[in-house]
Chain A
Amino acid sequence: MSTTATVATPFTGMLRRAERAGLDDIAQKVLAGTRLSVEDGLRLYEADLHVVGELANHVRERLHGDLAYFNVNQHVNYTNICNKLCRFCAFQRLPNQPGAYAMTPEEAAAKITAQLGEPVTEVHMVAGIHPKLEYSYYLDLLRAVKRARPSIHVKAFTMVELDQIAKKAKKPLEIVLPELIEAGLGSVPGGGAEVFADRVHKESYHLKISGDEWLAIARKVHQSGLRSNCTMLHGHIETKAERIDHLDRLRRLQDETHGFQTYIPLSFHPEHTEMADVPGPTALDELREIAVGRLMLDNIAHIKAYWILMDVPVAQTALSFGADDVDGTVVEEKIYHEAGATTPQHVKRAELIRWIRDAGRIPVERDTLYNVVWADETGDAATSI
């Protein structure tokens, strides 16, 4: 009897609080591991933040305990030239615009070589849709990077870039993907998903692939044996219903392929974009988005609080609102810094470890595929504060 009481205690409190917030049915589902419906998801946006956060934290701890993942990575944004004119982007440049650039494969490789003294395990390589780059460029880029650091994992090319690469190759993706893998591609990042809804697509990024196309490419990526991440750009013109629809579509594809490793809610940064009048999400909105993502995406293992976007206070707090990953050391982030992000452009590994410990979690350095590179042997998160 007493044993049951001890075990039940934390859940009893959580259930009581959920009941008070009108979420008792959702809390029961969360405890039972039952899938939340789209309607449930919408209610998560209306309910008290702490109650939603506690439910999300429950799922997060059921999956990962106190572990919080990070990696040692670097970013290479090989070109900012882009013809998609997305209204929420401050990174893009037209080919003749001042500040436009495109790296040669050798220049990109030099960025890798410059970090050889650091224990980098991953390069995150994404860029604009440069209409003039040929298929061979992308293959050369992968090869050059792998030559510069053979052990590095290349996480490169969003679904949007893959669509462009296949067009340039004039071959179906099913053929192109194995060739990219052969050249060094290790996995695919989650960007370019934006918000899948057709209305949002038409109004803010109509020149780019639609939500359906993004999902179709992701399916092919997963079928090729590659893992990918997935994202949602929130806090611009989308409605809450459109966000939940987005998450639901990700969840359905994941049921089919199991290819998504991590979901990353991306906060819209308005500065220098065509939507500079939209304020972007608040810190509290960002915490809620993490929590909603954790609760809705019951089949995706990891939820990332991308520190460079959210800033450290939010990322640390998010580790108690559903997130289990903070991304990495990120040498030289450009895309969000063009849109006003003021976070440092890279941090030391030791600093990431300190952030995670101070947030009451146990830091685990992972590689891109979540193999453990280093785990904190001292291990006791709650007393390491």
Chain B
Amino acid sequence: MTDSATRPTHDVPDRSPAPHAHARRESAARNGSFAAEVERIGGLVEDGRRITPEDGLVLHEHADLGTLGRLADLVRFRKHPHRVVTYVVDRNLNPTNVCITDCGFCAFYRRPKHEQSYVLPRETIHAKMDELRALGGRQVLMQGGHHPYLKSDWWCDLLADLRERYPEINLHALSAPEIDHLSRIEKRPVEDVIADLLGAGLGSVPGAGAEMLVERVRKIIAPKKTSTDRWLEVHRRVHEAGLRSSATMMFAHVETAAERVEHLQRLRTLQDETGGFTAFACWTMQPDGVPEQQLYPERATPSTYLRVQALSRIYLDNFANVQTSYVTQGLKMAQITLRFGCNDFGGTMMEENVVSAAGCFNLSPIEAIERQIARADFAPRRRNSWYGIVDDRHDERVDGPRGPMSRADGASHGAVRPEARRVLSSGTPAVGGRA
């Protein structure tokens, strides 16, 4: 202990970090040629103004992760000033894995007559629904392959049956490509298909199958799947029918950064038009064991996900909610995203068959989800499909006002026909409209 007093301090030379001849010592984000641009765009976001696709690309390419996170957090708290993170008790239910679309990034589907192909018998579906009911479930996310012989009447029969047996569970079912598939195999307008499904009990439409809403990319990864314009058109028709839907993006495969922004731009434009999207969720492509694995790069690292997830919160200024993807990214990343733009944990799922078929499986029990949210200093609250809080713990002081409690409320909150939109957009709808 006394040695220090007797020994001079210069015994050990002060080795501050060695200068490195090869690499720059200044930060590109702070001092590079785009630093002022990033700062300018950040100012727009801080002022609550909309950024252009060019701005979005600059942020994607040149903003550092900290700046993206800070801006996304700002937008998130502007839309949700209460420290609440929502999730829905739901389950996945994939009635069939039979599909004729042959997407090379999908490890879930089987061709018709394949020995592992299946169509779930009604009793199995009921058993799965009973499990969900026992957990207090509010939603079933029901989607499957594009089965060549399962038509609207099959689906309507299923929906009506479930609607009657499980009136408290919303049927969040049939992605846009599935609805488009029904319209195609039945050779009738998609509006008619939607009307029939709605009549049978469809409650809202999931955002799946968007993949990348850019034709160049779709031609490579999903040439037989519903086109970009058609995907958007189906959602437009869904919104016009008075249903809400969500939107997604699967990225980190063959797309460019500009194409990611293009995707977000298309969603933002449609949302301006209809106000019908409840939420956005994105995830990175899960490449393990998919049919065309050789086409795809290695699994993206967590930072890539975080960067795009934050950018999407900044860019989609007319989306009320952004979901984290704990299933593909794990709970640690999910917790980080709560300060990088996400206000929702998505669903509890109970089972997952699609991305988990591609080497990704991070399902977590409800308690773990609650714990992660609470420990990140947010109040975990259960919601329904329309982002209304359905939780005994609801407290207006902590959680803010309730959102829509039903399909009908949801419709009045934003899923409106274009001609009615102008009237509503001058006010501030609690969900879906531009804040």
- Contact, CB under 8 Å: A282 / B376: yes
- Contact, CB under 8 Å: A313 / B36: no
- Contact, CB under 8 Å: A279 / B375: yes
- Give A191-235 as 1s and 0s: 1 = Cβ < 8 Å from B's Cβ atoms: 000000000000000000000100010011011010100000000
A284-B336, A385-B307 known; A377 vs B301 contact (CB < 8 Å): no
- For residue B69, CB closer than 8 A to chain A, the reply is yes
- Give A345-385 as 1s and 0s: 1 = Cβ < 8 Å from B's Cβ atoms: 00000000011001110101000011110011101111101
Q: Bound state CA distance, A272 and B389, in angstroms?
A: 37
Chain A residues contacting B35 (CB-CB under 8 Å) are 9-10
B40 — nearest CB in chain A belongs to which residue?
A9
- Contact, CB under 8 Å: A376 / B23: yes
Size range of the chain B interface in the assembly: 35 or more
- Contact, CB under 8 Å: A312 / B25: no
Q: Bound state CA distance, A236 and B7, in angstroms?
A: 37
- Contact, CB under 8 Å: A379 / B18: no
Q: How far is the CB of A24 from chain B (nearest CB, A)?
A: 17
- Contact, CB under 8 Å: B24 / A66: yes
- Contact, CB under 8 Å: B66 / A283: no
Chain B residues contacting A311 (CB-CB under 8 Å) are 330, 332
B9 — nearest CB in chain A belongs to which residue?
A256
A10-B39, A49-B339, A64-B17 known; A316 vs B301 contact (CB < 8 Å): yes
Q: Which of B27, B42, B43, B372 contacts A61 (CB 8 A)?
A: B27
Q: Bound state CA distance, A223 and B1, in angstroms?
A: 12
Q: Which of B61, B371, B375 contacts A382 (CB 8 A)?
A: B61
- Contact, CB under 8 Å: A359 / B24: no
- For residue A302, CB closer than 8 A to chain B, the reply is yes
Q: A219-B1, A313-B332, A317-B336 are in contact. List 20 more A-B contacts (CB 8 A).
A: A9-B35, A9-B39, A49-B339, A50-B70, A223-B7, A227-B15, A258-B13, A283-B332, A284-B376, A313-B306, A316-B303, A317-B65, A320-B69, A354-B298, A358-B300, A360-B64, A364-B20, A370-B18, A382-B32, A382-B62
Q: How far is the CB of A211 from chain B (nearest CB, A)?
A: 13
Q: Bound state CA distance, A233 and B326, in angstroms?
A: 27
Chain A residues contacting B301 (CB-CB under 8 Å) are 312, 316, 354-355, 358-359
Chain B residues contacting A284 (CB-CB under 8 Å) are 335-336, 338-339, 376-377
- For residue A80, CB closer than 8 A to chain B, the reply is no
B42 — nearest CB in chain A belongs to which residue?
A13
Q: List 18 A-B contacts (CB under 8 A).
A: A9-B36, A50-B70, A66-B28, A67-B20, A223-B3, A223-B7, A223-B11, A223-B12, A261-B15, A279-B371, A317-B69, A320-B65, A321-B66, A355-B303, A360-B29, A360-B64, A382-B62, A385-B307
- Contact, CB under 8 Å: B330 / A257: no
Interface residue ranges of A26-48 to B (CB < 8 Å):
none
Q: Bound state CA distance, A319 and B69, in angstroms?
A: 13
- For residue B116, CB closer than 8 A to chain A, the reply is no
Chain A residues contacting B307 (CB-CB under 8 Å) are 360, 385
Residues of A whose CB lies within 8 Å of any CB of B are 6, 9-10, 13, 17, 49-50, 53-54, 57, 61, 63-67, 212, 216, 219-220, 222-223, 225, 227, 256-259, 261, 279, 282-284, 287, 301-302, 310-314, 316-317, 319-321, 354-355, 358-360, 362, 364, 369-372, 375-377, 379-383, 385
Interface residue ranges of B290-315 to A (CB < 8 Å):
298, 300-304, 306-307
Q: How far is the CB of A44 from chain B (nearest CB, A)?
A: 16
Q: Which of A10, A313, A383 contacts B30 (CB 8 A)?
A: A10
- What 3 A-B pairs are tightest by C-beta distance, nearest first? A313-B302, A320-B66, A313-B333
- For residue B4, CB closer than 8 A to chain A, the reply is yes
A9-B36, A53-B66, A223-B11 known; A216 vs B1 contact (CB < 8 Å): yes
Q: Bound state CA distance, A9 and B1, in angstroms?
A: 47
- Contact, CB under 8 Å: B16 / A301: yes
- For residue B26, CB closer than 8 A to chain A, the reply is yes
- Contact, CB under 8 Å: A257 / B18: no
A63 — nearest CB in chain B belongs to which residue?
B17
Chain A residues contacting B333 (CB-CB under 8 Å) are 283, 313
- Contact, CB under 8 Å: B335 / A257: no
Q: How far is the CB of B66 from chain A (nearest CB, A)?
A: 4
Chain A residues contacting B34 (CB-CB under 8 Å) are 382
Q: How far is the CB of A22 from chain B (nearest CB, A)?
A: 16
- Contact, CB under 8 Å: B332 / A65: no
- Contact, CB under 8 Å: A67 / B23: yes
A313-B302, A320-B65, A370-B18 known; A362 vs B12 contact (CB < 8 Å): no
Q: Bound state CA distance, A282 and B372, in angstroms?
A: 8
Q: Bound state CA distance, A279 and B375, in angstroms?
A: 9
- Contact, CB under 8 Å: A380 / B66: no
Chain B residues contacting A369 (CB-CB under 8 Å) are 15
Q: Bound state CA distance, A258 and B376, in angstroms?
A: 36
Chain A residues contacting B303 (CB-CB under 8 Å) are 313, 316-317, 355, 358-360, 385
A50-B339, A382-B28 known; A316 vs B302 contact (CB < 8 Å): yes
- Contact, CB under 8 Å: A282 / B24: no
- Contact, CB under 8 Å: B332 / A302: no
A216-B1, A225-B12 known; A379 vs B302 contact (CB < 8 Å): no
A13-B42, A258-B12, A360-B303 known; A383 vs B61 contact (CB < 8 Å): yes
Interface centre among A302, A358, A370, A381 (most CB of B within 10 A): A358
Chain A residues contacting B332 (CB-CB under 8 Å) are 283, 310-311, 313-314
